[in-house]
Amino acid sequence: MSVVTVADEIRPTAAMIEAIEVFFDFGQTPALRGASVSIREGEILAVMGPSGSGKSTLLHCLAGILVPKSGEIRLSGTRIDTYPESERSSLRRDTFGFVFQFGQLVPELTAEENVALPLLLGGVRRNDALARAREWFGRLGIDGLERRRSGELSGGQAQRVALARGLVARPKVLFADEPTGSLDSLTGELVMELLVTAARQDGTTVVLVTHEPRVAAYADREVVVRDGRVSSLTPDLAP
């Protein structure tokens, strides 16, 4: 059941995705207390802030993994937090891409099958999905690793496979939670360079959670989350 109210209508906005006054609790623990952030199309936003401040929770709310207790999530002006789970699930599959700190590849699958996964889940035929997946190995400098199982990859290689998986379905928004958190500086930098280059080429909007200033420096703009609220440091610059 979905009742369309005035507030639920599409509103004209320059934002690709935004959180408006979002509250979220884990049981008794408040994780977000009125968090608002707005990310323009094609923008790369770094989300920083102390441990436990609510960065991951904010990312999960934006991506429709968690549903806010109150407040709104809008994608191109359309409210998505009121979508039923089935529709949020298709958004996560078709419109959003994800990269996490520890790749989280499926160990039983080969690297190319891991990359193809979002396409397979989206109903693309196996051969087509694998062919599209393979294109990314060259693009991210990991050709030759297509048939390896994920347990046979180094952390940096696995993270590039995870990045390919996050980008293969050409998502509108890529959510990356500490994508370089488990890598050394040089490898982390390589992954960021690849992420930023790919995102810019494809016009992908990126929400990047990171502790590391040197990683955040790859973004166009940064916000800091403190106690479940977002404070913006850089004034909005015209795109």
Ligand X SMILES: Nc1ncnc2c1ncn2[C@@H]1O[C@H](COP(=O)(O)OP(=O)(O)OP(=O)(O)O)[C@@H](O)[C@H]1O
Query: Can you give the binding site for other proteins, defined by CB under 8 A?
Result: 50, 193, 212-214, 216-219, 222, 224, 231, 233-234
From the list ligand X, Mg ion, other proteins, none, partner contacted by residue 51 (C-beta under 5 to 8 A by kind): ligand X
From the list ligand X, other proteins, Mg ion, none, partner contacted by residue 54 (C-beta under 5 to 8 A by kind): ligand X
Q: Are the CB atoms for 43 and 207 separated by under 8 Å?
A: no
Cα–Cα dist 93/91, whole Å: 5
Q: Half-sphere exposure (CA, 13 Å, Cβ side) for 58?
A: 38
Sole binder of ligand X in the list 29, 185, 232, 234 (CB under 6 A): 29
From the list Mg ion, other proteins, ligand X, none, partner contacted by residue 64 (C-beta under 5 to 8 A by kind): none
Residue number with the smallest Cβ distance to Mg ion: 56
The reply to whether 52 sits near ligand X by the rule CB under 6 A is yes
Sole binder of Mg ion in the list 24, 45, 53, 56 (CB under 5 A): 56
- DSSP bridge pairs for 97: 174
Cα–Cα dist 71/31, whole Å: 14
Q: Which residue has the tokens 């990310």?
A: 39
The reply to whether 114 sits near ligand X by the rule CB under 6 A is no
**Minimal distance, residue 213 CB to other proteins, in Å:** 5
Cα–Cα dist 151/204, whole Å: 29
From the list other proteins, ligand X, Mg ion, none, partner contacted by residue 214 (C-beta under 5 to 8 A by kind): other proteins
Handedness of CA 70, 75, 59, 41 (dihedral sign): negative
**Minimal distance, residue 30 CB to ligand X, in Å:** 8
Cα–Cα dist 211/81, whole Å: 27
The reply to whether 56 sits near ligand X by the rule CB under 6 A is yes
In terms of residues, how long is the chain? 239
The reply to whether 55 sits near ligand X by the rule CB under 6 A is yes
From the list Mg ion, ligand X, other proteins, none, partner contacted by residue 153 (C-beta under 5 to 8 A by kind): none
Cα–Cα dist 115/69, whole Å: 33
From the list other proteins, ligand X, Mg ion, none, partner contacted by residue 97 (C-beta under 5 to 8 A by kind): none
Handedness of CA 7, 13, 17, 18 (dihedral sign): negative
Neighbours of 165 (CB within 10 A): 27
Nearest residue (CB) to other proteins, 124 versus 216 = 216
- Which parts of this chain interact with ligand X (CB under 6 A)? 26, 29, 31, 49, 51-57
